[in-house]
Chains A and B, each alone.
Chain A
């Protein structure tokens, strides 16, 4: 598996949740993963139910089997000051720039500078090695911006390399692009079995491919169990109401007469939903991409649910093979 796993998808489909589960799933025995977020929303802290994360890599979870998950909430402003410090030893000048509003300018207004910093920081973590020349993180997983913005976000370094034609920013931008366009990176899209997210997924994949960014997998999230098969439902709606009413009474339900209509209606809605889901599955199948599928955690998400999702991902093959030392 690629060492840099980018998780995008339509808003609200579960990007943050899936990225966290993926970071847990990839942290198999002895491995270390880094989960990064870039939108300044403290989403990671929310899913792990911990305090807000500082701009600092810290251990946030131990995976089943002993791997470790680190987390980092990348802050564009801090990342910029870090860069200035790192490359130019600009301690005091950095502060002066900040006073003038230049940092604000760079991180909130100037096109792409913010995204350059965020992707740059993530790529730095991907490439970082320790004294023994081993990768510090086996995998870096990014909770990325949504589908509508992901291509532009990842490609921003191309744009910047074009705008700033020379100088260290130019070089840095090109180095980041090399990582992002290599097989070291995989961009996954999270979707639900609903029309809008599936459509957005299809569009997003086309855009990523156009930009020559490596598309990873489609991750279908919040898949609901099918309780009844559709044939049964058809039969149910087709005039067995009296029988059903009797069966309800036999099962100990009182006042069953009034319940049959709503129960059958609910079943019809369910059948309709199942049908819609099938259609969406067919659309996804047409994309000809490998995928993962995660169940809906019916009781609502909590850290336990996250571990369940990670287990599910492992069952589907996440974390097998590859790891330390693969890819450069």
Chain B
């Protein structure tokens, strides 16, 4: 079995109990890293970030896979390696935004403090690196375009139009369109060596490629012209040009939508008329920018079926659009430094210890929950109910009080081990070890499942370079966390660790 070992995750996300913080790359050398038929090419993240020819990195992938975090981590790393970087994030989680000091929404890049010019191990860092970050505000971006491209009076008419107000706040694809628009703007300013872009949490990873085109084709469409006709020509002069079909159409729409609505739309369309050419031109320009050699796409996915399926679509689509793919970031990968002990073997060993436990064990609070052995048995088709979902439990997410007290107590006694162990004097070493083995078996099953999923992707796209980021137990809250992810991005494709 191929068990690509991940990195030990406790070192960065919180010290282990005994204070040992394993080097993030240490673990990767212990496992059989690659014994695939043809090894997956490695993604050299640092080479990508250091390449002065690369001016735009687009992080794409389906929702919830960690695109924003990846974009932010790449930004920190690139800046600390000496580049002047701006990260355009979309909908960042609050704490992620806070970690970069951009939790106020203002649609303007701001310098992120705390970036180290020169890092231990960073080769290029010469103190000249800078990180700027911003959060996309799509309404603000839309307003800015209007303000920039229409004269004051027309701009006001547009901004006050109720139809525009709804449109700018959220027609399908606005966010995608505005993200690409913002990218174009940032690139045009030419103030940064490198722009790292996050993409919107679309229903499909491809929406941000399609939205600008859709908008473009809509703007070129007959329907817009039809809507514009009466408003543009106005009154009776207009009527003359309306043939019977058209008047039926506007009549129908008026009936459906109410006259005022249609008039709002017409005023809006007329007011926007002068801008349409601009929209289309810029959408085309941004599209070309994405095809340019200075752009690199990173597809982000978790080792799960849906995410990798989207990733595969994306890889195919990029090829079809002749857009340059740098590689796949496989996020939240599980590994084990004890991979040589298989799940089956671990479970068998745990059972051996159970047998001992039955003989030796005194009564008292058991260290293990007895349902444990069902839930990881490889032949068990289902996970057995968890405490909160036990048949007799009230259907309520409120944890029972004892559990809450536990939490509080444990927090207080975190550093006083005697107290904690006093409470479970009876946990025998057999129980404990059996528990560790079952935990390991569960981990190995996750590792195996993720590997199967990846193998399917690799079979489809063996040419795609991959780097992987081990699953962290918690969320990222600060620059240090982003650095840790950056380290993994850089070393995750290299089983021997960083050179």
Residues of A that sit less than 8 Å from B by CB: 10-13, 39-41, 84, 88, 90, 93, 96-97, 100-102, 104-105, 108-112, 114, 145-146, 148-149, 152, 159, 163-170, 194-196, 199, 218, 220, 223-240, 243-244, 246-248, 250-253, 255, 258-259, 261-270, 272-273, 275-276, 278-279, 281-282, 284-285, 289-300, 304-305, 308, 312, 315-317
Contacts and interface: CB of A to CB of B under 8 A. Distances in A.
B171 A226 contact: no
Interface string B366-382: 01110110011000011
B89 to A, nearest CB: 14
Given A104-B218, A239-B18, A265-B22, A12 B64 contact: yes
A298 B170 CA distance: 38
B215 interface: yes
Nearest to B430: A247
Contacts of A170: 258
Interface in B414-469: 417, 420-421, 423-424, 427, 429-440, 442-443, 445, 449
Given A164-B261, A269-B10, A272-B10, A101 B248 contact: no
A267 B16 CA distance: 10
Contact of A272 (B218, B397, B474): B474
A199 B93 contact: yes
Contacts of B387: 226
A41 B310 CA distance: 12
Given A105-B221, A235-B432, A247-B353, A308 B249 contact: no
B437 A251 contact: yes
8 contacts: A93-B249, A164-B260, A165-B261, A167-B258, A229-B369, A264-B436, A292-B397, A295-B382
B120 interface: no
A110 B171 contact: yes
A40 B172 CA distance: 13
Contact of A220 (B253, B397, B474): B397
A227 B223 contact: no
A148 B226 CA distance: 34
A251 B349 contact: yes
Contact of B440 (A233, A263, A268): A263
A105 B410 CA distance: 58
B308 to A, nearest CB: 13
Interface stretch (B33-41, B74-82, B335-343): B335-343
B10 A163 contact: no
Nearest to A289: B397
A163 B261 contact: yes
B388 interface: yes
Contacts of B424: 229, 231-232, 235
Contact of A282 (B62, B258, B384, B407): B407
B391 interface: yes
B376 A269 contact: no
Contact of B166 (A96, A111, A317): A111
Contact of A235 (B259, B260, B404, B421): B421
Nearest to A197: B64
Given A227-B435, A235-B427, A317 B395 contact: yes
B350 A251 contact: yes
A248 B13 contact: no
B398 interface: yes
A230 B98 CA distance: 31
A252 B397 contact: no
A115 B439 CA distance: 46
Given A93-B248, A163-B166, A227-B439, A244 B349 contact: no
Given A11-B63, A238-B18, 15 more contacts: A100-B223, A101-B218, A112-B166, A195-B93, A226-B369, A232-B368, A237-B18, A247-B353, A247-B430, A251-B350, A258-B338, A263-B439, A267-B436, A276-B474, A289-B397
B315 to A, nearest CB: 19
Interface in B393-408: 393, 395-399, 403-404, 407
B208 to A, nearest CB: 15
A281 to B, nearest CB: 5
A186 to B, nearest CB: 14
Contact of A228 (B384, B398, B435): B435
B221 A293 contact: no
A109 B435 contact: no
Interface in B214-265: 214-215, 218, 221-224, 226, 245, 248-249, 252-253, 255-261, 264
B264 A163 contact: yes
Contact of B221 (A40, A104, A238, A263): A104
B433 to A, nearest CB: 4
A165 to B, nearest CB: 5
Nearest to B423: A231
A227 B218 CA distance: 56
Contacts of A293: 386, 388-389, 395, 397
Contacts of A289: 397
Most chain B C-beta atoms within 10 Å of own C-beta, residue among A101, A224, A279, A292: A101
B91 interface: yes
B203 interface: yes
A10 B64 contact: yes
Given A234-B17, A293-B389, A298-B383, A168 B223 contact: no
Contact of A262 (B95, B163, B338, B431): B338
Contacts of A108: 171-173, 214, 218
B152 interface: no
B74 to A, nearest CB: 19
A236 B172 contact: no
Contacts of B305: 300
A265 B407 contact: no
Interface in B197-215: 201, 203-204, 214-215
A308 to B, nearest CB: 5
Contacts of A149: 170
Contacts of A275: 407, 410
Given A230-B410, A278-B407, A308 B397 contact: no
A168 B473 CA distance: 53
Best-surrounded residue of B214, B397, B449 (most CB of chain A within 10 A): B397
A316 B389 contact: yes
Nearest to A218: B397
